[in-house]
Amino acid sequence: MRIKNSTKKKQIEDVKNKSEELLNKLEYGSFDTINEYVRVLADIRNLRGKIVSLRDLRYTDLTIVDSLDTRVKEKNEEFSKKSVWSSSFSQKDLSLMRIG
């Protein structure tokens, strides 16, 4: 039982660390190409899948899991909106360049 608890804690800690790392990257990183946006969005989806899988662990502290899920979900929505704006801005620039 002790081994299972330490393994569970390690899994939660690993996902928590990956969440912090990705959230910091979203907050302070710069993304200049559409490929960078797509890559980060894929990383977010992957992380959210890992967070959801934590719910399947027996006797998991759901407050921790819910907190992680909420934070990552909010950043995902914020970043998605930012990437849509950025890509539409880039398209506008491209169309102006073709005209001019």
Question: Which CATH number is correct for 2-99, 1.10.238, 1.20.58, 1.20.1280, 1.10.287?
Answer: 1.20.58
Domain range summary for the chain, segments of one domain joined by +: 2-99
pLDDT tens string 37-96: 888 889 999 999 999 999 888 888 889 899 999 999 998 888 877 766 555 545 554 454
DSSP 8-state class, residue 29: -
Inter-helix orientation angle 62-99/34-54, to 10°: 170
CB neighbour class for 6 (10 Å; exposed up to 12, middle 13-18, buried from 19): exposed
Contact 31, 40 (CB under 8 A): yes
How high is the pLDDT of residue 75? 87
Does pTM surpass 0.85? Answer: no
